[in-house]
């Protein structure tokens, strides 16, 4: 008889783990407290507008392609994926913006126009970033991170220096480029990994290759199309779903996880995958004696930031913005310190605004735009209506200042989203948005382990364990945990 697996959480990691396990013959059920799959990639619909509430950047298209290929599909059979050009716009000030094209020669031109000789250096830099990307994806990123020995055989360790594990992104970028604008463009992608460029191993300049060479993509209809595709593929493999069900407890008997308490009833399982936030599964669902880590361990983790988000329905088409827009008009050193070093609401934040309706007119009513504003903020801040109002005004003012376009009179509605919502919706530790920061001390074997040390049949997946935050890593996380389970139980 096939073994029963219960997966807690229908985010990208839970969906991925479930689908790989079902393919191997396990009887898999995914349980999620929300009404729909997708985890942090929920959709907010209002008055004909549709907003991606979480992820909006589709990078590393090869990871998605490989994922769906593993189940006999190609991405283009499941959703329409288009490459954006312009990839994104970076504002440094009013009337001072740079467009990052999907055309490499145009990127070279932009760099050269800002710093003479930088196009050549960019090519060297990106070549090294490509090597890192290829080494990482060819093994390194799929390691379960249980033991250091795993890494010894990886081509990667040929490796540790080529990978620049022991330099920071900041120092590597600085050794190639002088101009602050170029440095910000090259440092920006690692912000997805939840730490400052000075604290992230330069291995992660592989993200520059993903950004500038592989490009920025968009699934027509929004990021939820990926989720719908994953659910379809999962169901085809036989995965069952229970939505709107809160897992209250993991039951342990005779040193084995026996099942889950849902609606005060036991659902038995032979194997459990906790693909909700690791800290929640570990600290709230398990009896203390079986927790993988202590309260103080979690207190000492460096969490990736939370986010203060605004979903804005606008009664006009806004000029001056692209699909993705980065507002780098403030000093990120200060903003970064206010996220990590002395956490507080940022005095002069950098911001990100997406207008997906520029690409996808179907997600907003005719002649309207759907805007999402995002401000990265420290975790665990006091999230009050007054603060949300203050930053809403700052965001609107900033958009108006940098684009020179008035928007306030055309706003139909604004919905905000921050710490309290992340905790309520996702049981997010300290209200984090992006999981655990990918600092050197929290990389690979140094991340919370995918396997419970005391319960042979309890595993963890998702953005707080290997390989880290982001949608592509979450897909890979599910695959890693599934492989480990297959190895041990089949
Ligand atoms: C605002 C924002 C912007 C982002 N932008 C990007 C981007 O542009 N590109 C990118 O690649 N990544 C981005 N990310 C990161 C990316 O979205 C995440 O890394 C990824 O979605 C995490 O997936 P996951 O499966 O690990 O966890 P989650 O998506 O959090 O899934 C976990 C699920 O478990 C459920 N759950 C929790 N507790 C319980 C319980 N007790 N019982 C039942 N169910 C439970 C939760 O409701 C949730 O559905 C962004 C994230 C946020 C929040």
In tens, the pLDDT along 102-128 reads 999 999 999 999 999 999 999 999 999
Q: What is the pLDDT of residue 228?
A: 98
CA 425 to ligand 1: nearest atom: 47
Instruction: Supply the mean pLDDT for the chain.
Output: 95
**Is the distance from CB of 28 to CB of 272 less than 8 angstroms?**
no
471 lines ligand 1 (CB under 6 A): yes
Distance 97 CA to ligand 1 centre (A): 31
| Residue minimizing CA distance to atom 46 of ligand 1 | 426
39 lines ligand 1 (CB under 6 A): yes
Asked whether residue 290 falls in the same domain as residue 355, the answer is no
Mean pLDDT of 405-434: 98
CATH value at residue 356: 3.30.519
Q: What is the pLDDT of residue 201?
A: 86
Please state, in angstroms and rounded to a whole number, the distance separating the CA atoms of residues 311 and 426: 19
Please state, in angstroms and rounded to a whole number, the distance separating the CA atoms of residues 172 and 192: 18
Domain boundary pick from 214, 240, 264: 214
CA 14 to ligand 1: nearest atom: 25
Please state, in angstroms and rounded to a whole number, the distance separating the CA atoms of residues 487 and 490: 6
Asked whether residue 253 falls in the same domain as residue 242, the answer is yes
Q: How many domains does the chain have?
A: 3
Asked whether residue 239 falls in the same domain as residue 288, the answer is yes
Distance 34 CA to ligand 1 centre (A): 12
Q: Is residue 181 included in any domain, yes or no? A: yes
Domain with 393, as residue range(s), is: 302-426
What sign results for the dihedral spanned by CA atoms 8, 9, 12, 16? positive
Q: Are strands 88-93 and 43-46 parallel, antiparallel or unpaired?
A: unpaired
Please state, in angstroms and rounded to a whole number, the distance separating the CA atoms of residues 2 and 24: 10
321 lines ligand 1 (CB under 6 A): no
From 9, 13, 259, 279, mutation site for ligand 1 pocket: most ligand atoms within 8 A of C-beta: 9
Distance 9 CA to ligand 1 centre (A): 9
> Is it the case that residue 142 has pLDDT exceeding 60?
yes
Is the pTM value of this prediction over 0.75? yes
| Residue minimizing CA distance to atom 27 of ligand 1 | 11
Please state, in angstroms and rounded to a whole number, the distance separating the CA atoms of residues 110 and 444: 35
**Is the distance from CB of 16 to CB of 230 less than 8 angstroms?**
yes
> Is it the case that residue 148 has pLDDT exceeding 90?
no
Domain boundary pick from 186, 214, 242: 214
Phi and psi at residue 457, to the nearest 5°: -115, 25
Q: Is residue 333 included in any domain, yes or no? A: yes
CA 461 to ligand 1: nearest atom: 26
Q: What are 227-258's pLDDT values in tens digits?
A: 999 999 999 999 999 999 999 999 999 999 99
275 lines ligand 1 (CB under 6 A): yes
Q: Is residue 10 included in any domain, yes or no? A: yes
12 lines ligand 1 (CB under 6 A): yes
> Is it the case that residue 154 has pLDDT exceeding 60?
no
Asked whether residue 262 falls in the same domain as residue 316, the answer is no
Asked whether residue 324 falls in the same domain as residue 415, the answer is yes
Identify the bridge partners of residue 324 per DSSP, sorted by sequence position.
354
Asked whether residue 202 falls in the same domain as residue 233, the answer is no
Max intra-chain CA distance, the chain: 68
| Residue minimizing CA distance to atom 7 of ligand 1 | 55
Residue with tokens 């040193």: 255
Three-state DSSP class for residue 129: helix
Asked whether residue 291 falls in the same domain as residue 225, the answer is yes
From 471, 473, 476, 479, mutation site for ligand 1 pocket: most ligand atoms within 8 A of C-beta: 471
From 282, 438, 470, 477, mutation site for ligand 1 pocket: most ligand atoms within 8 A of C-beta: 470
Domain boundary pick from 214, 238, 253: 214
CA 477 to ligand 1: nearest atom: 26
Three-state DSSP class for residue 329: coil
Q: Is residue 93 included in any domain, yes or no? A: no
Distance 41 CA to ligand 1 centre (A): 6
Q: What are 263-316's pLDDT values in tens digits?
A: 999 999 999 999 999 999 999 999 999 999 999 999 999 999 999 999 999 999
Q: Is residue 12 included in any domain, yes or no? A: yes
Long-range contacts of 182-191 (CB under 8 A, 24+ apart): 182/111, 182/114, 182/115, 182/118, 184/90, 184/92, 184/328, 184/332, 185/90, 185/98, 185/100, 186/125, 187/332, 188/90, 188/326, 188/328, 190/438, 191/376
Q: Is residue 95 included in any domain, yes or no? A: no
């Amino acid at each position: 008889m096939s073994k029963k697996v219960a997966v807690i959480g229908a985010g990208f990691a839970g969906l991925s783990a479930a689908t790989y396990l079902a393919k191997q013959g396990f009887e898999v059920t995914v349980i999620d407290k929300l009404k729909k799959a997708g985890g942090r990639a929920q959709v907010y619909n209002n008055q004909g507008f549709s907003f991606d509430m979480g992820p909006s950047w589709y990078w590393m298209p090869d990871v998605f392609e490989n994922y769906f290929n593993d189940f006999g599909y190609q991405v283009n059979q499941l959703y329409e994926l288009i490459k954006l050009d312009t990839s994104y716009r970076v504002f440094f000030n009013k009337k001072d913006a740079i467009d990052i094209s999907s055309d490499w020669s145009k990127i070279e031109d932009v760099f050269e126009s800002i710093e003479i000789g930088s196009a050549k250096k960019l090519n060297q830099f990106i070549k090294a970033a490509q090597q890192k990307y290829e080494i990482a994806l060819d093994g390194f990123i799929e390691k379960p991170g249980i033991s250091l020995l795993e890494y010894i055989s990886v081509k990667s360790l040929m490796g540790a220096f080529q990978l620049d594990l022991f330099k920071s992104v900041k120092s590597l970028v600085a050794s190639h480029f002088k101009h602050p604008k170029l440095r910000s463009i090259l440092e920006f992608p690692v912000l997805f990994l939840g730490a400052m460029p000075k604290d992230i191993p330069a291995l992660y300049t592989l993200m520059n290759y993903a950004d500038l060479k592989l490009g920025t993509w968009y699934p027509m209809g929004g990021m939820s199309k990926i989720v719908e595709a994953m659910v379809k593929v999962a169901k085809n493999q036989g995965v069952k779903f229970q939505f709107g069900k809160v897992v209250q407890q993991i039951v342990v008997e005779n040193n084995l996880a026996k099942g889950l308490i849902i609606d005060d009833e036991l659902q038995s399982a032979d194997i459990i995958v906790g693909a909700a936030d690791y800290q929640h599964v570990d600290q709230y669902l398990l009896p203390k004696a079986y927790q993988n880590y202590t309260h103080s361990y979690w207190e000492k983790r460096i969490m990736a930031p939370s986010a203060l988000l605004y979903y804005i329905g606008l009664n006009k088409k806004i000029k001056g913005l692209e699909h993705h827009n980065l507002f780098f008009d403030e000093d990120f050193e200060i903003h970064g310190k206010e996220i990590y070093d002395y956490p507080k609401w940022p005095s002069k934040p950098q911001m990100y605004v997406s207008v997906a309706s520029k690409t996808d007119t179907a997600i907003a009513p005719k002649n309207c735009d759907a805007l999402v504003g995002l401000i990265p903020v420290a975790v665990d801040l006091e999230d009050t209506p007054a603060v949300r109002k203050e930053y809403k005004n700052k965001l609107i003012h900033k958009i108006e200042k940098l684009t020179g376009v008035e928007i306030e009179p055309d706003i139909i509605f604004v919905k905000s989203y921050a710490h309290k919502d992340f905790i309520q919706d996702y049981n997010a530790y300290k209200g984090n948005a992006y999981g655990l920061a990918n600092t050197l001390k929290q990389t690979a074997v140094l991340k919370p382990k995918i396997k419970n040390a005391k319960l042979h049949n309890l595993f963890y997946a998702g953005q707080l364990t290997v390989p880290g935050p982001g949608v592509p890593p979450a897909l890979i996380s599910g695959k890693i945990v599934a492989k480990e389970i297959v190895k041990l139980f089949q």
